[in-house]
Each structure stands twice: as structure tokens, then as C-alpha cells.
Amino acid sequence: MSINSDSDIAANLQIGPTSLGMVRIYVEAEGVDLPLDFDPDEADEIAEELRLAAEAARKSRK
């Protein structure tokens, strides 16, 4: 599966700080519990990638 592949998989996504000073992205789907921990600098990089992807997606709709 790739970024452009359609999928019928539903998942829950939670994002927040941990007690150890990390940022956790937690993905839960049928049969999957996936905690992903990032230091704050990595989380900032991910946030920027999300912002840029959203900007590109908006442009592709025009």
C-alpha cells in the first residue's frame, strides 16, 4: 500500500505529551495498537511535514 492507495481501514489517532517528555502519536485499529514516541524536535519536524502536505493537498483541489 502507498500514500495514494485507497483503503477501507478505520483507525483512531491520538496525539499528546508523555510523562517522559516525549510526544506520542498513538494509532489504534483492528488488531493494531501502535504507540510512536518522538522527541519534541522530531515532533516539530513531523508537524511541519503535515502542514506542507495539507498545503499541497489544498493546491491539488484547485
Instruction: Give the per-residue pLDDT at 4.
Output: 84
Q: Cβ neighbours of residue 9 under 8 Å, at least 6 residues apart? A: 29, 30
Q: Cβ neighbours of residue 30 under 8 Å, at least 6 residues apart? A: 9, 10
**Residue 48's pLDDT band (boundaries 50, 70, 90)?**
very high
pLDDT digits (tens, 9 = 90+) for 3-29: 888 888 899 999 999 999 999 999 999
Q: What percent of the chain has pLDDT over 70?
A: 100
pLDDT at 1 over 80: no
Output Rg (C-alpha) for the chain, integer angstroms. 14
Mean pLDDT, rounded, for 36-45: 98
Specify the 3-state DSSP secondary structure of 43. helix
Using the 8-state DSSP alphabet, how is residue 9 labeled? -
Instruction: Give the per-residue pLDDT at 27.
Output: 97
